[in-house]
């Protein structure tokens, strides 16, 4: 049994070595991509953010939420509510939004744009 | 005596409160600290006096340290889900 294992093991090792040399010869290092595209579409992000907003405050569920809806005026959220909403959005997309940027996000559209432009968002 | 905190500093502190409270494993503790943070920040949001504001801010920083410690301790234990908790928690 052991001999049989040995017999199958050696050609396999040979084959792997062959594949390895082949691969390095085919793909030059400089052309390799070390990142993956985030793959988030604007529509996708928008629906997810709207869902987060509706889950955050039940009274907003009935309101129409568009890209132009401002947190403060249209949705009636004060600065503390907005901070909480941003935290919920951060958790949804598994990112950290720096305070400086978060301060500038006044409406849904700006938030969507920021998430789409953030490569870490998923 | 520390100076009165800016608007940005207070919002940042609130953010940290919410984030740390969210990390509690135990539903009851989590909801309690979220509620407590919301209520205390809202109650103190009308304060104008810089001296009083500085004092409240310092107290809140102390509370945040407690909250951070306790949320870490909470994560060391597992708790049974309560019936009120959503099942498919991500």
Query: What one-character DSSP code corresponds to residue B8?
Result: H
Q: How far is the C-alpha of B67 from the C-alpha of B30, rounded, in Å?
A: 10
| Residues in chain B closer than 8 A to A79 (CB atoms) | 7, 11
Domain containing B55: what range?
7-76
Query: Chain B contact for A83, CB < 8 A?
Result: yes
Is residue A78 part of the annotated active site? The answer reads: yes
Total domains present in chain B: 1
ipTM associated with this complex: 0.82
The pLDDT of A101-120, averaged and rounded, is 88
Q: How far is A26 from chain B (nearest CA, A)?
A: 41
Selection from A58-72, A108-122, B38-52 with the highest mean pLDDT: B38-52
Average pLDDT over residues A91-106: 89
Cβ of B43 under 8 Å from any chain A Cβ? Answer: no
pLDDT-derived band at B63 (thresholds 50, 70, 90) equals: very high
Query: Does B15 fall in a domain?
Result: yes
Q: Is B53 on the interface with A (CB under 8 A)?
A: no
Residue in A78, A81, A103, A113 annotated catalytic: A78
Q: What is the pLDDT of residues B3-43, one digit of tens each?
A: 788 888 999 999 999 999 999 988 899 999 999 999 999 99
B29 belongs to a structural domain: yes
Query: pLDDT tens digit string along B34-56?
Result: 999 999 999 999 988 999 999 99
Considering the domain boundaries, does residue B33 fall inside one?
yes
pLDDT in tens, A5-51: 555 555 555 555 555 555 555 555 566 666 555 567 888 889 998 88
**In this predicted structure, what is the pLDDT of residue B55?**
93
Decide if B47 is inside a domain: yes
Question: Does residue B43 lie within any of the structural domains?
Answer: yes
Query: Looking at the DSSP assignment, which residues form a beta bridge with residue A70?
Result: A107
Q: Is the pLDDT of residue A85 over 80?
A: yes
Mean pLDDT of A55-75: 81
The answer to the question of residue B53 being in a domain is yes
> What pLDDT, on the 0 to 100 scale, is given for residue B61?
94
- Residue at B19 is within a domain: yes
Q: Is residue B88 part of a domain?
A: no
pLDDT at B4: 83
Is B19–A79 a contact, with Cβ atoms under 8 angstroms apart? no
For an interface test with A, give the residue of B7, B11, B17 to mutate (most A CBs within 10 A): B11
Overall average pLDDT of the A63-89 stretch? 87
Cα of A64 to nearest chain B Cα, Å: 25
In eight-state DSSP terms, residue A67 is T
Chain B hits for A80, Cβ within 8 Å: 11, 14, 38, 41-42, 45
Domains annotated for chain A, with CATH where assigned, are 2-31 (no CATH), 42-117 (1.10.1200.10)
- Residue A2, pLDDT > 80, answer no
Look at B14 and A80 and tell me if their CB atoms are within 8 Å: yes
Q: Which residue has the higher pLDDT, A58 or B58?
A: B58
How many Cβ atoms are within 10 Å of B35's Cβ, its own excluded?
Answer: 11
Q: H/E/C letters for each residue in A82-112?
A: HHHHHHHHHHHHCCCCCHHHHHHCCEHHHHH
DSSP assignment of B4-48 equals PPPHHHHHHHHHHHHHHHHT-SSHHHHHHHHHHHHHHHHHHTT--
Residue B76 has pLDDT above 90, yes or no: yes
For helices B7-22 and B27-44, the axis angle rounded to 10 degrees is 170
pLDDT, residue A67, reads: 84
pLDDT of residue A15: 55
């Amino acid at each position: 049994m052991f001999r049989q294992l040995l017999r199958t093991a050696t050609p396999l090792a040979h084959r792997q070595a062959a594949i390895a040399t082949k691969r390095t010869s085919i793909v030059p290092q400089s052309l390799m991509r070390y990142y993956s595209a985030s793959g988030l579409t604007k529509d996708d992000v928008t629906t997810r953010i709207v869902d987060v907003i509706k889950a955050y405050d039940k009274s907003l569920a009935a309101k129409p939420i568009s890209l132009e809806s401002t947190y403060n005026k249209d949705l009636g959220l004060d600065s503390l509510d907005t901070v909480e909403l941003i935290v919920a959005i951060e958790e949804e997309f598994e990112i950290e939004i720096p305070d400086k940027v978060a301060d500038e996000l006044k409406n849904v559209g700006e938030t969507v744009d920021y998430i789409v432009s953030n490569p870490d968002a998923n | 005596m520390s100076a009165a905190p800016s608007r940005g500093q207070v919002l940042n502190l609130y953010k940290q409160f919410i984030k740390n409270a969210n990390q509690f494993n135990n539903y009851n503790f989590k909801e309690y600290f979220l509620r407590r943070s919301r209520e205390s920040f809202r109650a103190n949001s009308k304060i104008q006096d810089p001296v009083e504001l500085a004092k409240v801010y310092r107290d809140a920083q102390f509370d945040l340290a407690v909250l951070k410690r306790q949320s870490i301790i909470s994560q060391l234990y597992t708790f049974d889900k309560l019936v009120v908790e959503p099942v498919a928690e991500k």
